[in-house]
Amino acid sequence: MRYLILGSGPAGIAAAKAARKLDKDAEVLLATEEHAAPYLRPLLPDLVSGERELPGVADPQGKNLADLKVRLLGGKRARRVDSAKNRVTFSDGTEETYNFLCVATGGRPILPLALMGAPGSFLFLNSLGDAQRVRERAMRSDTTVVYGPGYLGIEAARAMRKLGNQVIWINPGLPRFGNPISGEVEARVTDQLRARGVKVHEGTEIADVIDVDGKNYEVVTAGGGTIRCHLVVVATERLPNIGFLDGSGVKAGAGVLVDEYLRTNVSNIYAAGDCAEVYDVNRRESRINFGWRSAIKQGQLAGENMAGGGKVYIKNAEDYFGLLFGTPLLERVKA
């Protein structure tokens, strides 16, 4: 038996470990576009601010994969899935076959239209590589515009301010996807950010970005204001990374559509985590349940079910996005 799991985030790692646990003799492959060892995405803002160094963001879940005989294949971005031949093609031209496939490719942040014309002006804050690039560039910058709603915008603004940058946070409003933090918490955290010197522009959008001289940029807001900066950090909601499934026959909405067993319409293909739109048996609706804890729970269940577990995914309120690492948000911002 050969299990192929795509993506080395919490969902993919949990799926690989669960499949291994139930099927001791199987081959378990974890293929990921990442070159880095598994890491804790929620701690990336601390890496940017300098509160943590690289070893401090390693994902403990990913540490014993070799001992469990889970083969980690780095630098493998899935480009195409041939579900008739049970085969995945990667962007480096290599292929892997499977008996069972689990798609756990998470999400990618949304890029506002206005930034597309000025590619040198912005960096995302989504992956380990992004965090390292943001920190490196921020050390050479004085003024940063952070763009993004809710929790991710707050964390990016906090980290950049902690690093000593002048920070202007453009908060476009409630996230359209995922689970917003409560309005009351957001208001208190925003006040704290202001008290720390972050300038907050609420309820507006970036209308344009003008490249002044390759080092300085002028951000034009929807209200007509202009902000001179060296860098724009994009900390927006993440949408499922599933374009490579086009033409595979696997059905998708915003995410990969799976039933309560986390199985797609193709019986040997499963999906878990931020890329999966899961059927909720209680509410009788499908939705993406973004978040670290939910990704682990879904990954584990998908891994077990690929190996014959037959368990139903029941969503709990506590599976929703929450701060899982370190101190609560308000205390972080005060520090």
Ligand X SMILES: Cc1cc2nc3c(=O)[nH]c(=O)nc-3n(C[C@H](O)[C@H](O)[C@H](O)COP(=O)(O)OP(=O)(O)OC[C@H]3O[C@@H](n4cnc5c(N)ncnc54)[C@H](O)[C@@H]3O)c2cc1C
Q: Give whichever of 44 and 168 is closer to ligand X, judged by the CB atom.
A: 44
Tally of CB atoms within 10 A around 64: 10
Q: Give whichever of 221 and 244 is closer to ligand X, judged by the CB atom.
A: 244
Q: Give whichever of 180 and 322 is closer to ligand X, judged by the CB atom.
A: 322
Nearest approach, Cβ of 181 to ligand X (angstroms)? 10
Kindly report the backbone phi and psi dihedral angles of residue 270, in degrees, each rounded to the nearest multiple of 5, phi listed first: -115, 165
Nearest approach, Cβ of 210 to ligand X (angstroms)? 27
Buried b (16+ CB within 10 A) or exposed e, 308-330: ebeeebebeeebebbeeeeeebe
Q: Give whichever of 221 and 306 is closer to ligand X, judged by the CB atom.
A: 306
Contacts with ligand X by CB under 6 A lie at: 6-12, 31-34, 41-42, 44-45, 76-78, 104-107, 125-126, 152, 155, 241, 244, 273-274, 290-293, 295, 321-325
Nearest approach, Cβ of 78 to ligand X (angstroms)? 4
CB 232 within 8 A of CB 144: yes
Nearest approach, Cβ of 290 to ligand X (angstroms)? 5
Q: Give whichever of 40 and 221 is closer to ligand X, judged by the CB atom.
A: 40
Nearest approach, Cβ of 30 to ligand X (angstroms)? 9
Query: In angstroms, rounded to a whole number, what is the distance separating the alpha carbons of residues 172 and 203?
Result: 5
Nearest approach, Cβ of 320 to ligand X (angstroms)? 8
Query: In angstroms, rounded to a whole number, what is the distance separating the alpha carbons of residues 62 and 227?
Result: 42
Q: Give whichever of 23 and 96 is closer to ligand X, judged by the CB atom.
A: 96
Distances (CA, A) of 1 to 4, 67, 157, 273: 10, 19, 47, 23
Query: In angstroms, rounded to a whole number, what is the distance separating the alpha carbons of residues 271 and 26?
Result: 19
